[in-house]
Homo-oligomer: A and B are copies of this chain.
Amino acid sequence: MPKIGKSERLIFITSTLVQNPMKLFSLTFFCDKLSCAKSTLSEDIDLVSRIFEQTGQGRLETVSGAAGGVYYIPTMKKEDEIEFLNFLKNELQNSERIVSGGFVYINDIVFNPEVIKKAARIFVRLFLEKEIDYIATVEAKGIALASYVAQYFNKPLVVARNSSKFTEGSTVNISYISGTTGKIETMTMAKKAIKKGARVLFIDDFMRGGGTVRGMKDLLSEFESSLVGVGVLIATKDKKSVDVDYKSLLILEKLDAENKRITFSINPQVIS
Contacts and interface: CB of A to CB of B under 8 A. Distances in A.
Interface residues of A, number: 58
Interface stretch (A15-23, A222-230, A245-253, A261-269): A15-23
A117 B184 CA distance: 36
Contacts of A151: 113, 117, 148
Tell me what chain A mostly uses at the interface: helix, strand, loop, or mixed.
helix
A177 to B, nearest CB: 17
A166 interface: yes
Interface string A1-45: 110001110111011101100000000000000000000000000
Interface string A84-127: 00000000000000011101110110011110110000000000
Task: Please give the count of copies of this chain that the complex contains.
Answer: 2
Q: In this complex, which of A19, A54, A107, A180 has the most chain B Cβ atoms within 10 angstroms of its Cβ?
A: A107
Given A10-B10, A108-B193, A147 B113 contact: yes
A139 B161 CA distance: 10
B167 A51 contact: no
A219 interface: no
